[in-house]
Structures are given as structure tokens and as C-alpha cells.
């Protein structure tokens, strides 16, 4: 049996509820709203194509950030410090 996480979308044409599954993350059978998708799952399903089961419209998972996101480095600890 396959484990997966689910992102809940709505068809932009007919409004039908559409679930897109991802195996990218912990796959604890979690469900995410399309407005708060974890980045690893978003990267996994970005560009995925499927057909709406109700109105048969061809759809593609998209995102305003496209394929690139801004990244940065968090400072965990500064070197050359005498902590002892
Ligand atoms: Zn539809």
C-alpha cells in the first residue's frame, strides 16, 4: 500500500474538488490546502498534469513562484567564538 500526502485543489472551470497526491515528503497521509503547501511537496507536484474528473478540463499544477524560489542562509552559530 502506498503512502502519500494530498493537496486539495478546486477545478478553475467547474469548481469540482480535486486531490493531487505527492510522495515527496513524510507521506503521513496529511492533507494540505492549496494555499499552504509545504515546499518539498510543491516542488514535487509542480507541473503535474491531470484531467478534471467532472468537466474533463486538462489542468496543470502551477505556482506564482514558478520553478525557482528565493533561498538564504540562517546563521546557526558564528565561528571563532570562545564559548568555553
Ligand atoms: Zn472541472
In a domain, 75, yes or no: no
Domain encompassing residue 53: 5-60
In a domain, 51, yes or no: yes
> Which residues in the chain come in under a pLDDT of 70?
1-2, 25, 27, 65-67, 81-84
For residue 80, the tally of other CB atoms under 10 A from its CB is 4
In a domain, 81, yes or no: no
In a domain, 67, yes or no: no
pLDDT at 82: 66
Q: How far is the CA of 83 from the centre of ligand 1 (A)?
A: 60
Please list the alpha-helical segments (H only) found in 1-84: 39-45
In a domain, 14, yes or no: yes
d(CA 9, CA 46): 13
22-43 pLDDT, tens per residue? 988 676 789 999 989 988 898 8
Q: How far is the CA of 9 from the centre of ligand 1 (A)?
A: 11
Q: How far is the CA of 19 from the centre of ligand 1 (A)?
A: 12
d(CA 76, CA 50): 42
Is the overall model pTM greater than 0.85, yes or no? no
- DSSP, collapsed to helix, strand or coil, labels residue 20 as strand
Count of domains for the chain: 1
In a domain, 78, yes or no: no
In a domain, 79, yes or no: no
Q: How far is the CA of 82 from the centre of ligand 1 (A)?
A: 62
Amino acid at each position: 500500500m502506498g503512502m502519500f500526502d494530498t493537496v486539495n485543489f478546486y477545478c478553475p472551470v467547474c469548481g469540482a474538488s480535486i486531490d493531487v497526491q505527492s510522495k515527496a515528503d513524510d507521506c503521513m497521509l496529511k492533507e494540505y490546502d492549496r494555499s499552504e503547501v509545504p515546499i518539498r511537496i510543491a516542488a514535487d507536484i509542480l507541473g503535474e498534469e491531470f484531467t478534471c474528473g467532472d468537466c474533463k478540463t486538462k489542468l496543470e499544477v502551477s505556482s506564482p513562484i514558478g520553478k525557482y524560489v528565493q533561498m538564504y542562509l540562517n546563521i546557526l552559530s558564528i565561528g571563532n567564538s570562545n564559548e568555553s
